[in-house]
Amino acid sequence: MSLSKKDKAVDVPTDDDTSLHQFTDESGAPATLPEVGNGGEESKMKVLLGLMKKLMGVKDVANLRISLPASLLEPIPNLEYWQYADRADIFAAIGDSDNEVDRMLAVLRFSFSKELKFIRARLGKPYNSALGEHFRCSWRLPPIVIDKETGEPVIRTHIHVPIPGEPAYGGQGGSGWTTPVLGPEHGGRTNSEASSFVSTSSKASKKSPAIGYKQGNKSTDTISVNKTIPGPGDEIESDPDAGVVESEKVTVVFLCEQVSHHPPISAYYYTCPEKGIEGYGMDQISAKVSGMSVKVGPGASNRGIFLKIAREGPGQGEEYQITHPSASVNGILKGSYYGTISDQIQINCRGGEKSKTKLRALIDYKDESWIGKPRFLLDGVIYRYIVGNELEEGWTKPKQVPADKIVANVEGSWMKEVRYKLKGSKEWKTLLDLDLLALIPKDVRPLEEQDEQESRRLWDPVTQQLVGKNWGEATRQKQVIEQQQRDKAAARKAKGEDHQSRFFEADYEDGRPKLSQEGKKAIEQEMTRLSAKARERAENEI
């Protein structure tokens, strides 16, 4: 996508924005910050503090033409990092209920689970995306189910277990996880069958004793702690679903592509075909330095995440639009980063059965005090609004909603536990216990099966050097890739050609990207690949 001067979105800097010039060299290439010292923690801090000073007052840091030294980067591509299916099992269960309130609660669960990387993963700066870069991955897993007795979610894969020295919040760079062994009522094998599936893929699983966790007011046995996840980009070769029969699992596929470079915008698509659930949207962020923190929010082209129920039955055709909150990266001076979330979000239900009223949710993320530890609190409401009523559709904060419109209240901590209470009930129930959730690793094709513009293969020369802590060589490899992208842009300009996205159609001005034929083909290939692996596992169960 290209934005002309006439179509340029308000407050979005483009190539002709003079505020960018101070961050480019004489040729217009991004200004390059050199490594300082040996690239260690002290050197990183010097570079980072110097950069923060330069960026004070800059309108939008996210669109600056500046090349950072590799030592400041995490070894993960931007397109892989900024995805919202850290818990694909929660995404897959969005349309499971016949009840419209329960479906809205399921969408809220997904909304809170998509922030899991701020809780479990080490925060940092991923690689900038190149124009035309793309990433795809899949998950084969059991969706969450709602316990019939308690009405609370049952997590059936990757239960979080704190690792030694894990901080109370953020910045730990991963978490331990364990495998739940579930009873037949939740899709599990019998105890005798499940006991033979203990994973032995890591030293941790052999050394750690079996533990238990509390869920749905019932005690559930678990398999011992498995590997830790150093970040959201690493896979674990093991059986994390030893307690669940293969027929209970579904496939979730994710595909995204960088469709604009200035401003940086990507399109993305999720699907769970077995459940008839789709997710799609445009990602663009704006960022601003405030004091010694960086505040990140949605850019002008980012209309939020759209979730659609495409399967037949109650709720068919419903589309939920989830707006994004703002997030801040804090703790920079201490060298121990953690994220906080602020502002309000809205979740609007549209489409589906014709009705004069629909449901809408408002969530208010509480601002943190500048003294003391952050509390990560939120509250919110689900209310029924009259379709077309501008006043009722325009409320943005929970306190604006009259009591007689509210169907449920929400409260809690987005770092720990969120609960809800239906109108007329005195009982609070767990909507989502985030303490139970570990990041679920992605299933990604090997590098040799990826093409040159696929994220992991494109950035692999940098990743290998970063993992080896060869900071100078990592920076050099990064600059080589960046120069190759500039050369491609110059060649297109010389020919008078515009970049054409490969996996998405060009019309996504409303924030709802559509898959191209190439995109549909890529999704089908992922489904075929995972189906083959599922058949193999099912045969091994017999």
Is the pLDDT score of 63 beyond 80? no
Is the pLDDT score of 198 beyond 80? no
Asked if residues 77 and 133 have their Cβ atoms less than 8 Å apart, the reply is yes
Residue with tokens 């579930």: 182
Hey, which residues does 319 pair with through a beta bridge? 308, 350
- Smallest CA-to-CA distance from 459 within 229, 139, 237, 134 is with 134
pLDDT tens-digit readout, 478-519: 999 999 998 999 999 999 999 999 999 988 889 999 999 999
What's the whole-number mean pLDDT along residues 204-221? Answer: 36
- 423 three-state secondary structure: coil
| Least confident span in 2-11, 92-101, 492-501, 521-530 | 2-11
Q: State the pLDDT at residue 363.
A: 98
What's the whole-number mean pLDDT along residues 275-291? Answer: 89
* First vs last C-alpha separation in the chain: 50
Q: How confident is the model at residue 165 (pLDDT cuts 50, 70, 90)?
A: confident
Is the pLDDT score of 18 beyond 70? no
Asked if residues 286 and 58 have their Cβ atoms less than 8 Å apart, the reply is no
What are the backbone angles phi and psi of residue 515, rounded to the nearest 5°?
A: -65, 140
What are the backbone angles phi and psi of residue 137, rounded to the nearest 5°?
A: -160, 175
Q: State the pLDDT at residue 478.
A: 92
- Smallest CA-to-CA distance from 188 within 244, 133, 233, 228 is with 244
Asked if residues 78 and 233 have their Cβ atoms less than 8 Å apart, the reply is no
Please state, as a whole number, how many other Cβ atoms lie within 10 Å of the Cβ of residue 280.
23
Q: For residue 243, what are the CA distances in angstroms to 53, 185, 248, 541?
A: 52, 12, 11, 12
- Highest average pLDDT, of 26-35, 325-334, 443-452, comes from 443-452
Is the pLDDT score of 6 beyond 60? no
Q: State the pLDDT at residue 496.
A: 93
The torsion defined by the Cα of 63, 66, 67 and 68, in degrees rounded to 10, comes to: -90
C-alpha 475/C-alpha 25 separation (Å) is 17
Asked if residues 456 and 446 have their Cβ atoms less than 8 Å apart, the reply is no
Supply the mean pLDDT for the chain: 80
Q: What is the DSSP string of 441-503?
A: PPB---GGGS-TTBHHHHTHHHHHHHHTT-HHHHHHHHHHHHHHHHHHHHHHHHHTPPP--SS
C-alpha 144/C-alpha 180 separation (Å) is 12
Is the pLDDT score of 394 beyond 70? yes
C-alpha 436/C-alpha 216 separation (Å) is 12
Asked if residues 361 and 347 have their Cβ atoms less than 8 Å apart, the reply is yes
Asked if residues 43 and 35 have their Cβ atoms less than 8 Å apart, the reply is yes
Is the pLDDT score of 132 beyond 50? yes
Q: State the pLDDT at residue 228.
A: 42
pLDDT tens-digit readout, 351-388: 999 899 999 999 999 988 767 677 899 999 999 999 99
Is the pLDDT score of 218 beyond 50? no
Name the burial class of residue 138, with classes exposed (0-12), middle (13-18) and buried (19+) by CB atoms within 10 angstroms of its CB: buried
Asked if residues 193 and 475 have their Cβ atoms less than 8 Å apart, the reply is no
The torsion defined by the Cα of 20, 26, 27 and 33, in degrees rounded to 10, comes to: -70
* Composition of the chain by helix, strand, coil, percent to 5: 30, 30, 45
Q: State the pLDDT at residue 404.
A: 96
Q: State the pLDDT at residue 538.
A: 72
Asked if residues 283 and 254 have their Cβ atoms less than 8 Å apart, the reply is no
Name which residue leads in pLDDT, 109 or 25: 109
Q: State the pLDDT at residue 495.
A: 92
- Smallest CA-to-CA distance from 273 within 99, 532, 114, 92 is with 92
Is the pLDDT score of 169 beyond 60? yes
% of residues, the chain, pLDDT over 70: 74
- Smallest CA-to-CA distance from 153 within 331, 382, 420 is with 420
Asked if residues 48 and 329 have their Cβ atoms less than 8 Å apart, the reply is no
C-alpha 186/C-alpha 201 separation (Å) is 25
Q: State the pLDDT at residue 238.
A: 52
Q: State the pLDDT at residue 222.
A: 41
Is the pLDDT score of 434 beyond 60? yes
Hey, which residues does 409 pair with through a beta bridge? 381, 421
Q: How confident is the model at residue 344 (pLDDT cuts 50, 70, 90)?
A: very high
Name which residue leads in pLDDT, 519 or 440: 519
